[in-house]
Chain A
Amino acid sequence: MLLQSGITENEIIQGFIEAINLIVSLDPTVVEITLRSLTVSLSATFFASLMALPLGALIYFKEFRGKRGVINTLQTLYAMPTVIIGLLAFLLLSRNGPFGFLGLLFTPSGMIVAQTILIVPLITGLTVAAMSNIDREMRYTIISMGASMVQSIWTVLREVRFAIFTAVLIGFGRAIAEVGTVLLVGGNIRGYTRVLTTAISLNTSMGNFTLSIALGIILLGVALLVNVALNLVQQR
């Protein structure tokens, strides 16, 4: 029987079997795309965390005008369409853009930059939320113990480390699963900027379902791992 898109049921089952084969036999293309996806998204998560954690702590600690507005904006950015961030990063990094001179467009580094921009608001916002669980008395305690500003931030971050770890994992989850920014900024160049999501997108449109399914299973696996890790952390 023919499905609407022109694939037979048989083909799907066949695709699954072959996909498992590709994974089990460690097919070079599959391995290479998976590793690149992990490298790009882990790097982006690393750099984003490096910025977002202190920034979140600072927003939490400092009383300033428009603080509520900043937090609302961050929360709005959680749901920012990835293609819009991709477009923004594309414009910034393109040859005539302000950062064109760096030559990052259509490179893995450019993709890292784009994903970093994408998840900084998410991790920052979740960090502020995590820290809001610290009550006022604990803040007073830390200050009265003679902590400097930096020491205060460090102590609070350590106190909410499990919630922070959750924020970082959620950030990674958003980075590895998104297709919009990596497609626009990376350009999906085979062997260079092709990652799991862009490869699935391309191979599906070319009717190359076997590879798509294999990469899809891997992506699901990564998501599953992140979820397992989240559950472990949240049980602490």
Chain B
Amino acid sequence: MTDLITARGVSKAYGDLQVLEGIDLDVHEGEILGIIGPSGSGKSTLLRLLDLVESPTSGEITVLGVNTQSESRSLELRRRMGMLFQKPIVFNTSVYQNVALGLQYRRLDRRETDRRVRDALEAVGLSQYIKSQARDLSGGEQQRVALSRVLVTQPEVLFLDEPTANLDPTSTATIERIVRAMNQEHGMTVVMNTHDLLQGQRLSNRIAVMIEGRIAQVGAPREVFQSPRSRAIASFVGIENILRGRILSKGDDLTEVEVNGQTILSKRVVTDGTDDVDVLIRGEDIDLLREEPPDHPRNVFPGMITSIESNGPHVGMKVDCGGFSLMVRMTARLAAEREFDTDMPAYVAFRPRVVHVLPAEMLQE
């Protein structure tokens, strides 16, 4: 697999504000790379640097085999890439003119421009608006105009900066469908920012997590979501149960961790030699039962349900287990079947393989 874009030691500052620091990242040909991270973590800035819209303060970016430190070829490279921004941006002119503009920049002849603009609008389902004023369209439609304006130039790399934030579900689905099709049918490489974790998981082959201007972890979506490398990543990828503990004993298979007087067993332990650890457990990996399970997994704790919050088809229940509390997530239907209520005793149960143990971070968010 070739790397279409590589960033090495890339930093960006605006005045005194350091936005990116020491970014190393490779974009593989033909992949969809999702970049996730809290807002303000520098995702958009990173995309603009990779798309050569802005230059880094320091570091090197190689795009399509060309080192971009010499700016002379920057325009030519930019014309082989495209970017869709978070805010739907259309120019104050017709839909046709909006989509044709990028081709006019490239001095394509009129007939070819005309053909490609029509095809591109067809692809996003906006052919009927070809003569309309772009500003008269709805937000979702404007974003589709913007997408067809990018696709019409047939970019080798497509950057998407939170492309569906603030869009209705239908427009979101349309845009996701087109992006997936471009990637699978035309082999277009896609780099996408999103704060929508599900969207990141849905679309990406690989995911990079950005925290405070740095790439904190890169890997397959499953890896990032199941085995976050730090507490900050864990809490960003939605792991609600993060407990502070201490390693008691390390076996070949199971490791015992003491958390406030109770012992939790784990099969997934990463340590740096110290015994202070963070214990991460996803709420949906924990079962909650009315009675002690007879054929039980290795971690079972009696507790008391302290709160129940309903979230549509899902329910989150806080259970006080003595030394620690756990958030348990299950379907509303299952919770209703088991007739849970607050101040009710219950048993939490989870397998050692869902317990992820990391070296403790001294700095806490």
Contact = CB atoms under 8 A, between A and B. Distances in A.
Contact of A137 (B85, B93, B102, B105): B85
A158 B102 CA distance: 15
B85 A147 contact: no
Given A137-B89, A155-B91, A159-B91, A144 B101 contact: no
B153 A146 contact: yes
B102 A146 contact: yes
A140 B83 CA distance: 9
Interface in B83-119: 83, 85-87, 89, 91-93, 101-102, 105-106
A145 B149 contact: yes
B82 A159 contact: no
A99 B334 CA distance: 91
Given A146-B102, A155-B101, A141 B75 contact: no
A13 interface: no
Contacts of B93: 158
A1 interface: no
A151 B53 contact: no
B85 A145 contact: no
Contact of B105 (A138, A148, A158, A159): A148
Interface in A155-206: 155, 158-159
Nearest to B149: A145
A146 B159 CA distance: 14
A164 to B, nearest CB: 12
Interface string B46-64: 0010010100000000000
B85 A141 contact: yes
A138 B89 contact: yes
A80 interface: no
Contacts of A158: 91, 93
A143 interface: yes
Contacts of B153: 145-146
A183 to B, nearest CB: 42
Name the prevailing secondary structure of the A interface residues: helix
B87 A137 contact: yes
A144 B53 contact: yes
Contacts, number: 49
Contact of A144 (B82, B87, B91, B106): B82
A151 B102 CA distance: 10
Contacts of A137: 85-87, 89
A147 B103 CA distance: 10
A189 to B, nearest CB: 46
Contacts of A151: 105
Contact of B53 (A143, A148, A155): A143
Contacts of B79: 146
Nearest to A149: B75
Interface in B143-186: 146, 149-150, 153, 159
B102 A145 contact: yes
A140 B85 contact: yes
Contacts of A145: 82, 101-102, 105, 149-150, 153
A99 to B, nearest CB: 38
Nearest to B88: A137
B53 A140 contact: yes
B78 interface: yes
A141 B85 CA distance: 7
Contacts of A146: 75, 78-79, 102, 105-106, 153
A155 B149 CA distance: 15
Interface in A19-68: none
A4 B45 CA distance: 71
Interface in A114-140: 137-138, 140
A112 B92 CA distance: 34
A53 to B, nearest CB: 17
Contacts of B81: 144
A148 B71 CA distance: 12
A167 B282 CA distance: 60
A141 B105 CA distance: 13
B171 to A, nearest CB: 18
B308 to A, nearest CB: 42
A141 B89 contact: yes
A69 B199 CA distance: 46
A148 to B, nearest CB: 6
A141 B47 CA distance: 12
A140 B150 CA distance: 13
Contacts of B51: 144
A16 to B, nearest CB: 45
Interface of B: 48, 51, 53, 75, 78-79, 81-83, 85-87, 89, 91-93, 101-102, 105-106, 146, 149-150, 153, 159
Interface of A: 137-138, 140-141, 143-148, 151, 155, 158-159
List 4 A-B pairs, minimum CB-CB distance, nearest first: A146-B79, A144-B83, A145-B102, A141-B89
14 contacts: A137-B89, A140-B83, A140-B85, A141-B146, A144-B53, A144-B85, A144-B159, A145-B82, A145-B105, A145-B153, A146-B153, A148-B75, A155-B91, A158-B91
Given A138-B91, A146-B102, 16 more contacts: A137-B87, A138-B89, A140-B48, A140-B85, A141-B83, A143-B53, A144-B53, A144-B78, A144-B85, A144-B159, A145-B102, A146-B78, A147-B105, A148-B75, A155-B91, A155-B101
